């Protein structure tokens, strides 16, 4: 079900030909500050929208791209748009004025909502000319685009000249409620506009614009293949298997990483069999591509020769499902699968036919539970569109009762405080992490999510959702900076480091050599 791209595939989608250095180069370049916001820019943009009706003389109002009409003839002086490629999402483009375009996004498959993720190609631009883009069917009531976040841009011309980087781009960015109404008979809703202006550097360029740094299913498969080739099979056990097939017939991979036993002796084999399991999942929501960059950091670190990684492999068996919703990722949806369902609300009773990846992941967790190998940690990697920093959602019965104002007396209620260990450690060692943003409330509206079901049904004390910002940080050494793929991958590495705090034999594991690598004194930088 992978969409075919016309000509050369967009960056990060070259499958088996993907080179590791090239992949890293393509993703992100340097630290980028949050975009300054000019005073009254939102008022100015709304006024320009009103001017369409008051002064229609310069209004063109012509459809220049329609995903469903390939025969549409684009005017020679118009921008050219395209989105029929993996992860792409742009349904229609309307030229409003000479250098202004309204953009309409596809809703998620088989439903009429969840418009947020965009990723499209644009060409035929006039260099150094400010183009205004208005994404007019957004649904969330607010966005980090109002607080310094920028879309990302990739220029093929820049790449050919030796600078193959995604960069944050755009000025005069704001997000506000608009006057558009849904079609008759549709659910009542309010639409919002994301507007931004871009002046392209080159003529005869092909550029890609996206909500956040894309991470495709093809890139995942290529990176897993590279990791498999990179490890020393005598030291690192790395196995990629098929969890199941999706509705569209795409394979959902599951990866096992641990240390090979030192020998076939009874002692070494017994130690291997008794290593606790850690289960990590990711990308249940397709529009949260930042979560995949965090997972990439986790996978690459666990396969590295770093002594901390070696210690972790010797202490644990990692079971990792890096993309729970391949169909949604491939087809450029934001939150749902092809069935129009949010897979992270299917964990209570997943359907084996309609939600196979959740059904089989839950079945695997129950299997581990039944053989006495309940995971020590479960963590589902996500992205957050409205908050800054990286933080954890966990589960605590006591904190839930306290915050809900329950009359239940919690004095005699015993609860292992170990659910806070990882977040406390991350607050010390991970510059993008915010302990104050963490929450351990178990809300009724989240009762069928992975985090809550794994905690409630399997008794996993340390069951988490890790949320990573699409924007940036408001604390620590990254304060005022937008988060790039390097920082996201660093977060995946730091999450691995935090797992050392769970090992029983602290003295043996926290040797001087290991402490030098983990940088436990990172707190001083925050």
Tell me which H or E stretch contains 428: helix 421-429
Tell me which H or E stretch contains 400: helix 397-404
Q: Does residue 278 sit in helix, strand or coil?
A: strand
- Outline where DSSP puts E strands in 421-487: 462-469, 481-482
Residue 436, burial from CB neighbour count under 10 angstroms (0-12, 13-18, 19+): exposed
Q: Catalytic annotation on 100?
A: no
Pairing label, strands 100-104, 92-97? antiparallel
- Output the 3-class SS for 484-507: CHHHHHHHHHHHHHHHHHHCCCHH
Rounded distance, CA 209 to CA 119, Å?
A: 6
Structure tokens at 495: 């999450």
The upper half-sphere exposure of residue 80, i.e. CA atoms within 13 Å in the direction of its Cβ, equals 13
The C-alpha angle 40, 180, 290, rounded to 5 degrees, equals 70
Question: Among the options 300, 467, 487, 490, which is catalytic?
Answer: 467
The upper half-sphere exposure of residue 249, i.e. CA atoms within 13 Å in the direction of its Cβ, equals 2
Residue 68, burial from CB neighbour count under 10 angstroms (0-12, 13-18, 19+): exposed
Q: What are phi and psi of 415, to 5 degrees?
A: -145, 130
CA quadruple 180, 104, 294, 449: dihedral positive or negative? positive
Residue 324, burial from CB neighbour count under 10 angstroms (0-12, 13-18, 19+): buried
Asked if 440 and 395 touch (Cβ cutoff 8 Å), the reply is yes
Report the catalytic residues: 467
């Amino acid at each position: 079900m992978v969409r075919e791209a016309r000509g050369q595939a967009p960056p990060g989608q070259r499958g088996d030909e993907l080179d590791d250095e090239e992949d890293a180069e393509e993703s992100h370049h340097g630290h980028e500050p949050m975009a300054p916001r000019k005073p009254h820019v939102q008022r100015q943009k709304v006024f320009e929208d009103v001017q369409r009706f008051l002064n229609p003389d310069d209004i063109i109002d012509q459809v220049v791209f329609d995903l469903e009409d390939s025969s549409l003839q684009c005017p020679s002086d118009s921008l050219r748009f395209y989105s029929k490629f993996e992860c792409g999402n742009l349904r229609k483009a309307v030229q409003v004025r000479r250098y202004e375009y309204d953009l309409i996004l596809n809703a998620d498959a088989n439903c009429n909502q969840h418009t947020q993720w965009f990723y499209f190609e644009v060409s035929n631009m006039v260099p150094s000319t400010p183009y205004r883009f208005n994404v007019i069917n957004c649904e969330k009531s607010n966005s980090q685009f109002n607080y310094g976040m920028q879309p990302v841009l990739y220029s093929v011309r820049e790449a050919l000249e030796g600078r193959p980087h995604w960069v944050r781009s755009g000025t005069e960015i704001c997000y506000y409620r608009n006057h558009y109404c849904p079609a008759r008979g549709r659910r009542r809703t309010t639409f919002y506009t994301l507007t931004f202006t871009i002046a392209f550097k080159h003529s005869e360029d092909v550029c890609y614009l996206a909500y956040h740094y894309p991470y495709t299913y093809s890139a995942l498969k290529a990176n897993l293949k590279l990791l498999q080739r990179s490890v020393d099979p005598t030291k690192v056990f790395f196995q990629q298997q098929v969890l199941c097939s999706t509705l569209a017939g795409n394979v959902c991979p599951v990866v096992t990483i641990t240390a090979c036993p030192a020998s076939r002796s009874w002692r070494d084999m017994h130690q291997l069999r008794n290593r606790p399991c850690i289960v990590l999942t990711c990308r249940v929501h397709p529009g949260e591509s930042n979560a995949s960059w965090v997972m990439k950091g986790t996978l690459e670190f666990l396969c590295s020769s770093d002594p901390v990684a070696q210690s972790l492999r010797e202490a644990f068996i990692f079971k990792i499902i890096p993309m729970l919703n391949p169909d949604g990722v491939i087809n450029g949806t934001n939150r749902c699968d092809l069935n129009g369902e949010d897979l992270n609300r299917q964990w209570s009773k997943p359907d084996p036919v309609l939600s196979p990846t959740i059904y089989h992941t839950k079945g695997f967790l129950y299997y581990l539970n039944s053989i006495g190998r309940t995971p020590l940690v479960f963590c589902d990697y996500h992205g957050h569109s409205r908050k800054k920093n990286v933080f954890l959602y966990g589960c605590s019965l006591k904190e839930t009762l306290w915050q809900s104002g329950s009359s239940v007396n919690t004095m005699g209620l015993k609860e292992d405080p170990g659910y806070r260990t990882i977040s406390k450690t991350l607050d010390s060692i991970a510059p993008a992490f915010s302990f104050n943003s963490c929450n351990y409330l178990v809300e009724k509206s989240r009762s069928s999510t992975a985090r809550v079901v794994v905690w409630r049904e399997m008794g996993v004390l340390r069951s988490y959702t890790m949320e990573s910002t699409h924007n940036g940080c408001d604390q620590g050494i990254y304060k005022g900076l937008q988060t790039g793929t390097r920082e996201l991958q660093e977060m995946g590495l730091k999450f691995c480091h935090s797992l050392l705090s769970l090992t029983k034999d602290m003295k043996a594991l926290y040797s001087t050599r290991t402490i030098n690598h983990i940088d436990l004194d990172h707190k001083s930088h925050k």
